Amino acid sequence: MLIDGDEIYVRSGNYHGFLQDYRIYVKGADTEGSRIWIELSREGVFLEDAIVGEGGTFVYSNNSTEIFNLTVDTIYAGTDGVLVRFSPVYQYLNPRLPMPQNPETPPANSSENNSSVSPVPEHQVKGFDMPLFLLSIGVVFLVTGFFAERYKKK
C-alpha cells in the first residue's frame, strides 16, 4: 500500500500527482457544485474518468488489481471554481510498474533531516550571508563614527 487513508485537496482545473506517475485531475463541477468530473491518467495517458458527488467513491483497477480508491469527502464551491477534499485516499502498488524510488520524502523541518547545512529561509537570497552583512554594516558605522569624531575635533 502506497497511500493509506490520507486526505488530499485538488482545485478544479488542477491535479494531484501520485507515486508511479499517476495523476488525478479535477476537470470541473456542475453548476450547483455538488458533483465533480475527475480524470485519472498516468504519464499523460488517459486511464479513466467519472462524475462523482459528495460521499461518492472513485475506484480504479488494472487487470482486476485495485490501484486507487478515493472518496469525495467535500466539494467547496466558490466563484473561481471548486476545491475538492478527497478522504480517505488509498493507492496500492501496481505490480506491473517499477517500484517508486522515494515513497515518502520527509519534510525539510523533520527531525530525520540529518543535513549539516542549515536551510536558507525562503525570504533570503541563496548565497547571501546575513551575519556577514550585519557585521559589515557595523564596521561601516564604527568607521563613520571614528572619522566623524576626528572631524569634530579639528
- What is the set of domains in the chain, with CATH numbers? 3-91 (2.60.98.40)
User: How does pLDDT run across 96-147, given as a tens digit for each residue?
Assistant: 888 876 555 444 444 444 444 445 454 555 555 667 777 778 888 888 887 8
Question: Could you tell me the pTM of the whole model?
Answer: 0.62
In three-state secondary structure terms, 144 is helix
The answer to whether the beta carbons of residues 58 and 92 sit under 8 Å apart is no
The answer to whether the beta carbons of residues 5 and 89 sit under 8 Å apart is yes
Q: Which grid cell sits at 112?
A: 530525520
Distances (CA, A) of 121 to 62, 111, 115, 129: 44, 17, 15, 11
Distance between CA atoms of residues 34 and 54, nearest Å: 7
Averaged pLDDT of the chain: 81
Distance between CA atoms of residues 109 and 52, nearest Å: 37
